[in-house]
Structure 1
Amino acid sequence: MNNKVIMVVDDEETTRRGLRKTLIVWSNGRYEILTASTAGEALAHSGKTKIHILITDICMPEMTGLELVKEMKESGQQPVTLMISGHSQFEFAQEAIRLGVLNYLVKPVSKAKLIEAVEEALVKEESIERAGIIEKSADLTLLQVNREQEQAKNPVKTAYRYVDDHIHRQISLKEVADHVHLNSSYFSVLFKEQAGLTFSEYVTRIRLQHAKQLLAATGLPIAQIAEESGYQTAKYFNKIFKEYEGMTPGAYRKSLR
């Protein structure tokens, strides 16, 4: 089973069961489908399980669907949300948009419209997840270098691109200096002046950032990640990774999960 969870919240039992049945048939075991009859019950679920997609009625007793979304955000849960309602009310739609709700569906919701909306929500959720992984793996020093790239001279900009394009293999300073048609010594000084890092440290940081993204986003073996990040041995990769990150690649991967 996929680890993504879709939760349906509706106080009308018939609607709730119908939506769940449609999603179970459509998902064919790919996703876990949870249901709740009240916002309170939904919050209890979200306290134990990460909810990736939330499908909630707006008008419910005690707490509305809009209030549920606010409560979940305050508790740190921010699922991609689809709102459903028995009637279209402009003020509800406005508030839903303000809260970042992806779609607003009017009952009765057809199977085709529900599935289309959920598939769109899953694409959105994947996009958010990828952005989160990139943010977590970002090297603050490299971010500063990237911000200053516009001020860098053309040979150094070209060097940045060359390193990025060949990160999966060994790269020497001389190779890159030759690529930008500069003497190695002059290129080394120019690179340090423009990047604020030595060429060697820049390459190491780029390799590790690439490795962190693979550790977070894939299940690839660490030895393969080491190879794809330009390290000849997993042992040396582990050593460098621990020096920079304060933990082994395996521990880093576990920390994200």
Structure 2
Amino acid sequence: MRSRTILIVDDEPRSREGMKKILRVWAAGQYEILTASSGGAAMEILEETPVELMITDIRMPEISGLALVSQLRKKSIQRQPSVILVSGHAQFEYAQEALRLSVVDYLLKPIGREKLIASVEDALKVVEEQEDIVYMRKMADPKLMAIREEEAGLSDPIRKAMHYVEMHIEEVISQQEVAAHVHLNVSYFSSLFKEQCQMNFSEYVTRRKLQKAKELLLKTNLTIIEVAYRTGYQRVKYFNKLFKEYEGMSPGQYRSMRNGVEAHIP
């Protein structure tokens, strides 16, 4: 598993090492804390190492912290880190530029331990949220996405049926009960759904349940048995079979991939 990294950039050794010491104790081995004494040295690290968060002083010789972030935003590096700017001077222009560069926080020296840790934790939450959004977009079912994009053109009964599935995702859902809910006979509902959604209703329910299962696998620590139950599958063996059929891997392998572990998929 790749270690997660925080980079501290400051030309003042005392400030740089002080922040490193605080964050090393706070991280307790969960993050690697790297340091750089200049913007140039920082850029070399950033080009070679994925960094979740960069804390950089603004006023440094040669390349200022603001110039470093500006250069960073223009580069096609593997990962754009969240940024916390640090300054010994409160200047409105710095704050304005920080906003323009999408900097997470702007701290004034001297920085107390609690303030530094609180700012770092907030910045890392932003990183996690962004990673989840990117990952969920990559993992989204393309057929469900296609239906969602055309949702405005669907008939009212079909939209109501999809809403019913959403509200009863933890239950066993039958075509008969949904057809009754939208006041259509089963045969007509079945043909209408397939015509408008380009898949039959049972496939839609399966795909929607598995999409929910993927979200639970990524965002919670629920066991696979609990994930199966939360998506309306009482037989875990059947849930595993369906998941592998649609995703090409088991639920456990899927979760491992999100955690950065290379899953073996036979």
TM-score range relative to shorter protein: 0.7 to 0.9
- Cα distance between partner residues in 1 of 2:112 and 2:167: 47
Q: In the superposition, relative to structure 1, how do residues 241 and 160 fare at CA in structure 2: closer, same or farther (>3 Å)?
A: same
1:130-183 Cα shifts (integer Å, max 9, x gaps): 312321221121112112222222222221111112222311101111222221
Q: TM-score, normalised by structure 2?
A: 0.80
2:20 aligned residue: 20
Q: TM-score, normalised by structure 1?
A: 0.82
Alignment of 1:15-54 (within 5 A): 15-24=15-24, 27=26, 29=28, 31-32=30-31, 34-38=33-37, 39-43=39-43, 45-46=45-46, 50-54=50-54
Give the secondary structure class of the aligned counterpart of 1:178.
Answer: helix
Q: Which amino acid aligns with 1:182?
A: L
Q: Which amino acid aligns with 2:60?
A: M
State the shift of 1:112 in Å: 5.0
- Cα distance between partner residues in 2 of 1:182 and 1:168: 23
1:235 aligned residue: 237
1:248 aligned residue: 250
Q: In the superposition, relative to structure 1, how do residues 206 and 153 fare at CA in structure 2: closer, same or farther (>3 Å)?
A: same
1:51-102 Cα shifts (integer Å, max 9, x gaps): 3222111233454434544447522222211111233455554443333212
Equivalent residues, number? 254
Compute the RMSD of aligned alpha carbons: 2.9
State the shift of 1:48 in Å: 6.6
Unmatched tracts of structure 2, length 5 or more: 261-266
Give the secondary structure class of the aligned counterpart of 1:132.
Answer: helix
2:120 aligned residue: 118
1:81 aligned residue: 83
Unmatched tracts of structure 1, length 5 or more: none
Q: Which amino acid aligns with 1:198?
A: N
State the shift of 1:9 in Å: 1.7
1:222 aligned residue: 224
Give the secondary structure class of the aligned counterpart of 2:54.
Answer: strand
- Cα distance between partner residues in 1 of 2:247 and 2:24: 42
- Cα distance between partner residues in 2 of 1:163 and 1:198: 14
Match of 1:128 among 127, 130, 133: 130
CA contact (8 A) 1:23 1:33 kept: no
Give the secondary structure class of the aligned counterpart of 2:184.
Answer: coil
1:153 aligned residue: 155
More displaced 10-residue stretch of structure 1: 57-66 or 119-128? 57-66
1:7-46 Cα shifts (integer Å, max 9, x gaps): 3221211111332344456x37385361413345545655
